[in-house]
């Protein structure tokens, strides 16, 4: 009897405690403004909570997809992959708690199985928990779909077992290495799971310094002005760079947004389709895609008079028809005259000639006269070929200059008299 009474009394107590825990988690999941952060009035804080419906927008992240989260200018979403892994994941949680910042953690199933208590700390702090496969294979873009499904399902099952509540696992997933594949994306969409890429990484998985992680994170955020930042909570360099990243975001006027999935009790945040576009078009600029046109209005509805043919000075206002179209591919029949093809447009009638009032003077002929330069006549001498016979001389007693022989126009077909050249000595007479 006593045992029955204890059970009867403990049941409502258990329900009451569960209600308190749910209320505490709901309070922790809400936005915490900078001034409301306990012990740190100058904290960065979480400016707002964005509630999304994964089925309406199954893929987000400007690095790979045409859609990303509907953020305003200078809004950033923090995401962490590959945890939990002590002590680094716990240090990241402490840093975020000091700044009252909420983030999204994509846990690996094997890590959730190994460190379930640390994953429960992530949930208790009010962060969103998505999945990152079971074993983090860097081959989901080429593995058989059956194996990819097992990686996805096992990762969700391990996270659910660690947290003890299926509702605690958000329907968010980031594919390992961002190595996307259509079959994998289609499978996730069929299960109502939203695939997360990113808008800018900090490259903290590479062997670089914490200062370099900070520089890459801030420079890439500044270049885009808003978006999803990809980090890893298992790296010591990330732990060292994170406080400086958050402090710089605060100094430069950035705000942190926490993303949670929509539920029957938590409706989605109202947005427009353009808010999700990675590169939204502005109404002030004409789009390159028809039929959208820029919005403009005419200053007045006045019209201009149409010009008359006589207004032009071509052929005194006459309108001439173009030549008949003719197909060169027609075969000609001997003795027949080819007939031009009919024009596809109606023939135009001649326009009545109007009065010609404008005249132009006829240019004088001397305008086109070009004076010629006088050149002194020169006599050219060309050497004879070896087979040509030289012209007979009148006397054997001649001067040395007679070794050069003049070529007459009728000496042979190969001899020519060329005016304007210098004398050329004939070969064989030196």
Q: Look up tokens 């027609």; give the residue.
A: 330
> DSSP letters of 116-164?
HHHHHHHHHTT-EEEE--SS--TTTTTS-HHHHHHHHHHHHHHHHHHHT
Angle at 381 between CA 377 and CA 382, to 5 degrees: 135
| Burial environment of residue 240 by CB neighbours within 10 A (0 to 12, 13 to 18, 19 or more) | middle
Q: Look up tokens 């208590």; give the residue.
A: 117
Alpha-carbon distances, residue 15 vs 22, 26, 265 (angstroms): 11, 16, 19
> Of 430, 429, 425, whose CA–CA distance to 382 is shortest?
425
Angle at 38 between CA 36 and CA 43, to 5 degrees: 65
Angle at 54 between CA 257 and CA 96, to 5 degrees: 25
Widest distance between CA atoms in the chain: 167
Alpha helices in 76-124 (DSSP H): 88-98, 109-114, 116-124
Strand partners, 172: 194
Q: Look up tokens 């919005």; give the residue.
A: 295
Alpha-carbon distances, residue 211 vs 238, 242, 353, 377 (angstroms): 10, 10, 85, 89
> Cα separation of 265 and 191, whole Å?
20
> Cα separation of 415 and 262, whole Å?
105
Alpha-carbon distances, residue 80 vs 70, 134, 242, 357 (angstroms): 19, 16, 11, 86
Tokens of 215: 């520089």
Contact 78, 231 (CB under 8 A): yes
Backbone angles phi, psi at 128, to 5 degrees: -85, 145
Catalytic residues: 81, 232
> Cα separation of 413 and 429, whole Å?
22
> Cα separation of 339 and 333, whole Å?
11
């Amino acid at each position: 009897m006593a045992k029955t009474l204890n059970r009867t009394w403990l049941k409502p107590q258990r329900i009451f405690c569960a209600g308190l825990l749910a209320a505490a988690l709901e309070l922790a999941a809400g936005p915490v403004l900078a001034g409301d952060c306990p012990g740190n009035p100058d904290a960065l804080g979480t400016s707002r909570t964005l509630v999304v419906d994964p089925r309406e927008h199954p893929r987000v992240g400007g690095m790979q997809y045409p859609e990303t989260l509907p953020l305003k200018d200078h809004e950033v979403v923090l995401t962490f992959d590959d945890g939990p892994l002590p002590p680094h994941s716990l240090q990241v949680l402490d840093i975020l708690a000091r700044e009252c910042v909420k983030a999204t953690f994509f846990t690996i199933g094997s890590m959730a199985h190994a460190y379930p208590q640390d994953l429960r700390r992530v949930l208790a702090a009010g962060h969103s928990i998505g999945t990152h496969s079971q074993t983090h294979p860097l081959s989901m873009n080429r593995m058989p779909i059956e194996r990819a499904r097992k990686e996805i399902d096992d990762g969700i099952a391990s996270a659910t077992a660690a947290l003890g509540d299926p509702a605690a696992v958000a329907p968010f997933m980031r594919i390992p290495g961002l190595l996307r594949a259509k079959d994998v994306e289609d499978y996730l969409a069929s299960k109502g799971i939203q695939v997360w890429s990113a808008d800018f990484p900090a490259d903290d998985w590479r062997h670089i310094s914490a200062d370099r992680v900070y520089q890459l994170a801030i420079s890439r955020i500044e270049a885009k002005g808003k978006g999803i930042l990809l980090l890893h909570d298992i790296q010591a360099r990330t732990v060292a760079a994170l406080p400086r990243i958050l402090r710089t975001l605060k100094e430069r006027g950035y705000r942190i947004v926490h993303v949670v999935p929509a539920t029957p009790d938590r409706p989605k945040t109202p947005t427009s389709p353009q808010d999700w576009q990675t590169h939204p078009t502005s109404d002030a600029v004409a789009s390159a895609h028809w039929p959208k046109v820029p919005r403009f209005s005419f200053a007045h509805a006045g019209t201009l008079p149409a010009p008359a043919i006589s207004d032009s000075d071509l052929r005194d206002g006459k309108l001439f028809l173009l030549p008949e179209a003719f197909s060169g591919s027609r075969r000609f029949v001997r003795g027949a005259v080819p007939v031009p093809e009919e024009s596809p447009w109606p023939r135009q009638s001649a326009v009545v000639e109007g009065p010609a009032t404008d005249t132009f003077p006829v240019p004088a002929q001397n305008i086109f006269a070009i004076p010629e330069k006088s050149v002194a006549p020169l006599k050219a001498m060309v050497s004879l070929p070896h087979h040509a016979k030289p012209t007979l001389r009148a006397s054997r007693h001649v001067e040395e200059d007679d070794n050069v022989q003049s070529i007459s126009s009728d000496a042979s077909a190969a001899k020519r008299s060329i005016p304007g050249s210098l004398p050329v000595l004939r070969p064989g007479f030196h």
